[in-house]
């Protein structure tokens, strides 16, 4: 009996429907690195995570992007009100060689904003991880494990009206009621309330009112 050859499908031929994700196990670091090169840095989808030799391809729903961008706008407004520098690195690919790679929904450099201001391409050998990463409607199986390997100090995950704040404590994440980035604010209540206000009055008016409130 002649053994059949394994089926191989070019990665560019894969089409993920919005809201779906695909897990591929036993993927080497070299294969992951080659995939990023093949797909290029300008793509919008799919979003790619890599952790523990597992590759995950995700195609976010269009509705997924709205809370993600609104929360990012809220973070900017809060930092501006506190006269703190920030750099928004969006979905930049962050990697730890031979171990993990991830593209956040969005992320910020705050403490390290000055260091990263002129950065063109993230270099894990000399650049720190983002100070804050934000994810919306996470369905990924590898997200927090990947952030842990990258040593991102604070991760927010917003899902179905609930904000969870994860703080890196040693080598693992713990849920927290308080943000290290904004320790004086009750963000677990504040962020969902602001997103609801955006639905009721519009994003511009919500952000304008937030800036007024923070200035008082």
pLDDT digit string (tens) for 4-23? 444 454 555 566 666 677 88
> pTM for the full model?
0.86
Which helix or strand (DSSP H or E) is residue 124 part of? none
What does the block give as tokens for 77? Answer: 């407004």
Most confident of 11-15, 120-124, 140-144, 162-166: 162-166
200: Cβ–Cβ under 8 A, 6 or more apart, which residues? none
Domains of the chain, first to last? 63-215 (3.90.1570)
At what angle are helices 62-81 and 203-215 packed, to 10 degrees? 20
Alpha-carbon span 130 to 111, nearest angstrom: 9
Whether pLDDT at 148 is above 90: yes
pLDDT reported for residue 203: 95
pLDDT reported for residue 1: 47
Tens digits of residue pLDDT in 39-87: 776 666 678 889 888 888 887 766 666 888 999 999 999 999 999 999 9
Question: Comparing 57-66, 129-138, 163-172, which segment has the lowest mean pLDDT?
Answer: 57-66
Question: Comparing 22-26, 73-77, 178-182, 185-189, which segment has the lowest mean pLDDT?
Answer: 22-26
pLDDT reported for residue 121: 79
């Amino acid at each position: 009996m002649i053994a059949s050859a394994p089926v191989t499908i070019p990665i560019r031929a894969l089409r993920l429907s919005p809201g779906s994700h695909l897990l591929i196990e036993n993927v080497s670091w070299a294969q992951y690195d080659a995939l990023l090169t093949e797909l290029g840095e300008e793509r919008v989808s799919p979003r790619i995570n890599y952790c523990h030799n597992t590759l995950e391809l995700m195609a976010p729903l269009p509705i997924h992007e709205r809370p993600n961008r609104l929360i990012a706008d809220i973070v900017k407004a809060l930092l501006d009100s506190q006269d703190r520098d920030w750099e928004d690195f969006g979905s930049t690919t962050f990697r730890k060689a031979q171990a993990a790679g991830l593209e956040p929904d969005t992320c910020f450099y705050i403490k390290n904003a000055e260091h990263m201001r002129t950065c063109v391409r993230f270099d894990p050998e000399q650049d720190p991880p983002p100070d804050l990463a934000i994810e919306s409607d996470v369905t990924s199986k590898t997200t927090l494990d990947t952030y842990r390997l990258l040593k991102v100090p604070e991760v927010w995950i917003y899902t179905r009206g609930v904000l969870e704040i994860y703080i890196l404590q040693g080598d693992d994440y713990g849920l927290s009621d308080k943000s290290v980035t904004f320790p004086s604010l009750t963000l677990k209540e504040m962020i969902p309330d602001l997103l609801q206000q955006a639905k009721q009055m519009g994003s511009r008016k919500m952000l304008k009112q937030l800036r007024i409130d923070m200035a008082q």
